[in-house]
């Protein structure tokens, strides 16, 4: 895919959604961190249902520690891998209080050192909470990047590196949100909604499913 096509893709996505953001519900960087940890292999909808009950009760590292891991599990038990995620969140709370005065760090190295925080989660935090032009590659973005020819790659990290190289600078801050929403609601895995796709004529998928 050439640079003209790539630019046109993001111009259209921008026109359709000028101010995209995550569908996870949060009001602070710490709430977002908890929500993103919970969202691994789970839907944003299921996470939001849980955090709507959790955050009014405990939404700071100290409050979650006071709540305790066992009670935290009760709030998030409908989310996949909730036991492991609860453990990671409590461990993260300890680290934030011990090392960062209860604040979420704004560097990749510090974020990835937190339990339950991998590269994708760190990228989400850097982008959404701290306004850095990173691109977190999830299953939707990985699929789209390969399917339409935007930034083909065999691994998530390869796709991320290519996206950072080929996405025009002016679109990098919002590219993650545009692509994930497009993959979630339009360019779906099993049944792409090509009739509703605003970039269909730019798609380079060789074996079109639509």
**Which residues are designated catalytic?**
120, 138
DSSP H or E segment with residue 185: helix 172-185
Please say whether the dihedral angle defined by the alpha carbons of residues 82, 111, 115 and 117, taken in this order, is positive or negative.
positive
116: left (phi over 0), alpha (psi -120 to 50) or beta: left
> Going by C-beta distance under 8 Å and a sequence separation of 6 or more, which residues neighbour residue 63?
57
> Going by C-beta distance under 8 Å and a sequence separation of 6 or more, which residues neighbour residue 147?
187, 203, 205
Please say whether the dihedral angle defined by the alpha carbons of residues 137, 142, 143 and 144, taken in this order, is positive or negative.
positive
Q: Are 23 and 44 in contact (CB under 8 A)?
A: yes
Taking the C-alpha atoms of residue 91 and residue 210, their distance in angstroms, rounded to an integer, is 46
Which residue reads 């959604």 in tokens? Answer: 17
């Amino acid at each position: 895919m050439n640079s003209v096509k790539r630019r046109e893709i993001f111009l259209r996505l921008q026109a359709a959604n000028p101010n995209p953001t995550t569908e996870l519900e949060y009001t602070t960087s710490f709430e977002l961190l908890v929500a993103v940890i919970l969202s691994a292999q789970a839907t944003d909808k299921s996470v939001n249902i849980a955090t709507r009950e959790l955050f009014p009760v405990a939404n700071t590292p100290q409050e979650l520690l006071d709540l305790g891991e066992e009670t935290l599990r009760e709030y998030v038990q409908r989310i996949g891998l909730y036991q492991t995620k609860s453990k990671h969140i409590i461990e993260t709370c300890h680290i934030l209080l011990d090392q960062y005065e209860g604040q979420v760090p704004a560097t990749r190295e510090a974020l990835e050192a937190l339990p339950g925080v991998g590269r994708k989660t760190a990228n989400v935090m850097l982008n959404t909470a701290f306004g850095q032009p990173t691109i977190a590659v999830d299953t939707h973005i990985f699929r789209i990047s390969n399917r339409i020819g935007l930034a083909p790659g065999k691994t998530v990290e390869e796709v991320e590196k290519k996206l950072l190289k080929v996405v025009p600078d002016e679109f990098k801050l919002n590219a993650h949100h545009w692509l994930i929403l497009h993959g979630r609601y339009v360019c779906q895995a099993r049944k792409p909604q090509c009739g509703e796709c605003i970039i269909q004529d730019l798609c380079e998928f060789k074996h079109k499913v639509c």
